[in-house]
Amino acid sequence: MKPNLNRIEIPYEIPRPKPVNVLLLEDNMADAELVSEAVASDDNITLHVIDNGDDAFDFIYRRNTYARAPRPDLVLLDLNLPGKSGREVLKVLKAEAALLDIPVVVVSGAESADDIIEAYSLQANCFITKPAGLEESLQLLRSVMRYWLHIVRLPTPPPENVVIVNTSPEHRA
Amino acid sequence: MTSHKRPVEILLVEDNPGDVELTRDAFADSTMPNHIHVAGDGVEALDFLHRNGPYADAPRPDVILLDLNMPRMDGKELLSLIKNDADLKAIPVVVLSSSEAATDIGKSYRLHANCYVSKPGELAQFMRVVHAVEDFWLVMATLPDRQTPRPSAA
């Protein structure tokens, strides 16, 4: 029996950031397009797409080209990101005191059971396996976004004058 | 989504019997077979997770639903213990709380709650929210799959 992936009903409007800044770390442009389409109907979402790990770190630490980047409210992370691997990005996101509360949704093609356990052990908030079909992928992404943006309460960001200090040894500029 | 070869094992940590019944009802509707195990407070939950005493044969939960406000052990304390335990930290913990306080939300995420969901007071909305939680974690997300073997008597 094929489950209906669109079952998530939004019971009522929960308080949420305006706009919600979603950081998508994805190097496959077709997959990035799908996410873009999945959030298109929600005009309260700003989607930031980054396709490699080095830029991802610049965005997260607000340096170089991304000095003015907003703090993400939600991160969608493809584990197979070039540059620094998706796993490295996940590790840093969940180790930095100023960032570790940001929910990270790991998206990946089918991974081994051990890889999935490892992602959760690194404190990924959830793991989504990309389905094979286009329509299925779009439906799944829409429902995933609906869950994280309309059911789940996202953490409130710290006040704007808080500076994120890069405390991670591998990434000292 | 997870291809479940066996029922999904869920640990519900909740002291309100009414909420327990409603949650059971919502999960009974799922397309994914599941078992709900209930712990009335954090101490019982830890016994379940560590397979102490009467829980020697307890399965490893695939996902934990956690109410923050409970007797004997504050939900945040249990959350912290779970997420700092090498054996348990990979289990997704869904905080289900009637509190909408930003401080509770923030603290839960900093303690590595996988997500924080507010429990609406109104019944129909409560059921929709619990259905959404069930749909997301049992159907859409891929859960970590590790049923650890029971430790042999040493």
Q: Which residue has the higher pLDDT, B74 or B36?
A: B36
Nearest to B92 among A94, A102, A126 (CB): A126
Terminal alpha carbon distance of chain B? 38
Decide if B145 and A117 are in contact by the 8 Å CB cutoff: yes
Work out the mean pLDDT of chain A and round it to a whole number: 87
Decide if B132 and A125 are in contact by the 8 Å CB cutoff: no
pLDDT tens for B4-27 read: 679 999 999 999 999 999 999 999
Nearest CA in chain A to B89: A121
Alpha carbon distance A45, A93 (integer Å): 21
Contact with chain B for residue A138, Cβ under 8 A: no
DSSP B3-44: --SSPEEEEEE---HHHHHHHHHHHHT-SS-EEEEEESSHHH
Q: Which residue has the higher pLDDT, A83 or B137?
A: B137
Binning pLDDT at 50, 70 and 90, where does residue B151 land?
very low
Residue B41 C-alpha, separation from nearest chain A C-alpha, in angstroms:
23
Q: Tell me, what's the ipTM? A: 0.91
- With a cut of 70, say whether residue A69 has pLDDT above it: yes
Q: Chain A contacts of B115, Cβ < 8 Å? A: 103, 125-126, 148, 152
Decide if A123 and B83 are in contact by the 8 Å CB cutoff: yes
**How many beta-carbon pairs under 8 angstroms link A with B?**
112
Alpha carbon distance A70, A55 (integer Å): 14
Binning pLDDT at 50, 70 and 90, where does residue A120 land?
very high
Q: Chain A contacts of B140, Cβ < 8 Å? A: 5, 128, 140, 143-144, 147
- With a cut of 80, say whether residue B154 has pLDDT above it: no
CA atoms within 13 A on the CB side of A129: 19
Q: Please check whether residue A48 is in contact with residue A22, taking contact to mean a CB–CB distance below 8 angstroms.
A: yes
Q: What is the pTM of this model?
A: 0.90
- With a cut of 50, say whether residue B73 has pLDDT above it: yes
Best of A12, A76, A129, A153 to disrupt the B interface by mutation (most B CBs within 10 Å)?
A153
Alpha carbon distance A82, A121 (integer Å): 22
- With a cut of 90, say whether residue B150 has pLDDT above it: no
Q: Chain B contacts of A3, Cβ < 8 Å? A: 1, 31-32, 139
Closest CA to A74 of B92, B75, B96, B109: B109
Binning pLDDT at 50, 70 and 90, where does residue A2 land?
very low
Q: Report how far apart, in Å, the C-alpha atoms of B150 and of each of B58, B61, B62 are.
A: 9, 13, 16
Nearest CA in chain B to A120: B90
Neighbouring residues of A166: CB distance < 8 A, sequence distance ≥ 6: A61, A96, A172, A173
Decide if B106 and A125 are in contact by the 8 Å CB cutoff: no
Binning pLDDT at 50, 70 and 90, where does residue A161 land?
low
pLDDT tens for B91-100 read: 999 999 999 9
Residue A12 C-alpha, separation from nearest chain B C-alpha, in angstroms:
8
CA atoms within 13 A on the CB side of A170: 9
Q: Chain B contacts of A126, Cβ < 8 Å? A: 92, 114-115, 136-137, 141
Alpha helices in B40-86 (DSSP H): 42-50, 75-83
